[in-house]
A and B are shown apart, each in its own frame.
Chain A
Amino acid sequence: MGRELYRAVADGILGGGVYALMAVGLTLIFGVLDIINIAQGILVVLAAYLSSVLSVHLHLDLFTGLLVTIPVMFITGVAIQWLFMRRLRGRERTSMSLLASYAVMIIIEGILYLSFGPDYVSLNAWYVTSTVRVFGFYLPYIYLFGFGLAVLLVAGLYVMLYRTKFGRSLRATMQDQIAARLIGIDVNRVAALAFGIGVAVTAVGGMVFGATNAFNPNSGYDLISRLLAIIILGGLGSIGGAMAAAIFMTTVEAIVNIWSPTWSVVVFYAALVIVLTFRPNGMFGRRAVRAQ
């Protein structure tokens, strides 16, 4: 029992790192643009398919493939912002952006189904199949590598946000768009780059997700609902909150998984509903992130 519990906690923490990365991208987009990118889940799946194509057809190593997929996902993100989100105006912009990104999600899902079909795919490499002994139990190397990469990238995002000039203008835009514009920040450029960065992290998320799970185009729904639960629980727009909530949720899920695999997913959402009942702004949410 105790052994299983340790294992569940380790699984949860290691798996949570990747969710943290994807959720940070999502919450970053929200913070800067006041948009929830529902398409984030299917973009993760798209990135996983890209990784799979690169590794099967070009025999690129999964980690080397990231050098291709990260720029591709970045450009995809900038394009979505430039083509669709930028054009939304007016009082209903917030709900419109939710629906617009939902539509983007459906289009990408349809295209993925057309190109790859409904069969499940998973990514393969030596570090996916061979295992390493950690604290007395065996885990595929990819869990460690993925977690390490996620930590590295979250740290990189942190440095970018808090130690660079671009990060400062980005945070200024998060706090008050009009004031940021007044002091000479090119808000449109910041918005496009933030959307691009927020989507670019799905390249890494997709690769690690694809290496640890079998996926098909339908996996986007499961992913996005988890990511939404995570960023709401962490408090919308809070980057630290998203990281903490990701680790917390995946750990809780892994622990419940010991008793009942079918109900562990329900616990994930039930935790969200319970937390929101007592703290409507999430665990680390500021009060009224931005007044309407």
Chain B
Amino acid sequence: MTSRAALQWGLVAAAAAFAAIFPLVFTSELVTQIAIDTLILAGATAAWNIFSGYSGYISLGHAVFFGAGAYTAGVAAQDWQISGSAEFLLLPLAAVVAAVIAVPFGLVALRVRRHTFVVVTIAVFFIFQLMAFNLSVTGGSVGINAPFLGWAPATYNNPFYYLALIIAAGTTALSWLIRRSRFGLQLRAIRDDEDRARGLGVRAMRVKLAAFVISAVVIGMIGALWFFFIVQVLPQYGFDPLLDLSIALMAFLGGLGRVAGPLIGALLLEPGQQYLTLHYSNSYVSEIILGSLFLLVILFLPRGILPFAEERMASWRGRHADAPGTSPGGPPGSGQAPAPAAVAPVPGAGTSGPQGAPGAGRAR
């Protein structure tokens, strides 16, 4: 294990320990509520990233699964009269329903690529939102209310916090495993050149669909959890176009197709967004700020924080590692030579693999 890997594991362990005791230290309801929202979005973004980040198919329709999960939990809890903690047993059901929706959705949408794919996901999203408004089972524009939980207010948020934490951490671990696996390699091959990957024997449709369903399952569960937490689902919030955008923004900000990218993006953005919404009672101002922030990220940090930081680190290390070792007779600028070389072979956003950083031992 290199020192870098040790450092990474240490960071992961420290973050996990911090996250585990967080609600015991910060007992304010507002703080834990923001933490839950952040974890919900971190989990959803990590799940989205497994599909969109690795395969390069940008989906703006994953809110379909979020809403489907929320409505499944709502309708099931209502019809079967489930109440109390037993309602969390409905999470797997929400996952199954999301998967059942994801298979035909994926079979149609994944036939097309690039722009057309994005637009098809948006179209399917609107079909679902309209259905939520118009079908009788969803309660129309009145929505569905969740069963009442008679928990003590002081610790009310804690079970939600830990469930959201488990889902977010589990999804990130899954994302890490997938990235290291043959399956992840096939996904990234599809992103880089789908026709060539197909030529090399990747069963592209099967691989894409599998990733699509995995991300749908997780987001379906998260939708159900969100519903129990918010205690109500309305069509415009269950199927929320801003959710799609937030997820994409967080993944882009952190680093598209990176394991830790979604976490970084969600941790930076969601508390900030919550703060803005609280600070300006007017949600329109926070909408303008969110949009402007998004534009700034795309224009100035198009590949995300993580790849950008790694590049900086690599060039910094390159400079410092070489400085004492270079022969005295060498040209003065030679110490800086590795820096551009480490940066140069990286073309677009979210490129795969080790970025040429010294000692970056990540499996490709």
Contacts and interface: CB of A to CB of B under 8 A. Distances in A.
B288 A98 contact: no
Interface residues of B, number: 44
Contacts of A88: 298-299, 302
A99 B291 contact: no
Contacts of A292: 113-114
B243 to A, nearest CB: 13
Interface in A215-267: 221, 225, 228-229, 232, 236, 262-263, 265-266
B76 interface: no
Interface in B110-146: 111-116, 118-120, 122-124, 126-127, 130-131, 133-134
Contact of A280 (B116, B127, B284): B116
A125 interface: no
B210 to A, nearest CB: 20
B314 to A, nearest CB: 19
A114 B256 CA distance: 33
Contact of B284 (A90, A110, A225, A232): A110
Contacts of B291: 103-107, 110
B248 interface: yes
B290 interface: yes
Interface stretch (A47-55, A148-156, A271-279): A271-279
Contacts of B295: 84, 100, 103-104, 107
Given A95-B118, A110-B288, A113-B284, A90 B348 contact: yes
A107 B294 CA distance: 10
A106 B287 contact: yes
B123 A273 contact: yes
A270 B124 CA distance: 8
Given A30-B115, A276-B108, A111 B288 contact: yes
Contacts of B115: 30, 36, 94, 98, 236
B292 interface: yes
B252 interface: yes
A229 B125 CA distance: 12
B288 A91 contact: no
B299 A84 contact: yes
B262 interface: no
A96 interface: yes
A92 interface: yes
B84 interface: no
B116 A232 contact: yes
B285 A110 contact: yes
A265 B128 CA distance: 11
Most chain A CB inside 10 Å of its own CB: which residue of B58, B130, B249, B291: B291
B112 A106 contact: no
B223 to A, nearest CB: 20
Contacts of B349: 90-92, 96
A262 B127 contact: no
A114 B289 CA distance: 13
Given A100-B298, A273-B108, A277-B108, A114 B284 contact: yes
B302 A96 contact: yes
A63 interface: no
Interface string A274-292: 0011001000000000001
Interface string B293-320: 0110011001000000000000000000
> Quick one: which of A93, A265, A273 has the most chain B CB within 10 A?
A273
A232 to B, nearest CB: 5
B325 interface: no
Contacts of B19: none
Nearest to A34: B115
B122 A225 contact: yes
B120 A232 contact: yes
A87 interface: yes
A273 B117 CA distance: 11
A273 B108 CA distance: 7
Contact of B120 (A36, A89, A276): A276
A92 B130 contact: no
A95 B123 contact: no
A228 B299 contact: no
A112 B290 CA distance: 15
B123 A96 contact: no
A110 B284 CA distance: 5
B302 A276 contact: no
A94 B134 contact: no
Contacts of A98: 58, 60, 115, 118
B302 A92 contact: yes
B163 interface: no
Contacts of A36: 115, 118-119
B285 A103 contact: no
Given A269-B123, A292-B114, A262 B134 contact: yes
A103 B294 contact: yes
Interface in B217-241: 241
Given A92-B348, A292-B113, A292-B114, 12 more contacts: A84-B299, A90-B302, A91-B347, A92-B302, A100-B298, A103-B298, A107-B291, A236-B115, A236-B116, A269-B123, A277-B111, A280-B111
Interface of A: 30, 36, 84, 87-96, 98-100, 102-107, 109-111, 113-114, 221, 225, 228-229, 232, 236, 262-263, 265-266, 269-270, 272-273, 276-277, 280, 292
Interface of B: 58, 60, 108, 111-116, 118-120, 122-124, 126-127, 130-131, 133-134, 241, 245, 248-249, 252, 256, 282, 284-285, 287-288, 290-292, 294-295, 298-299, 302, 347-350
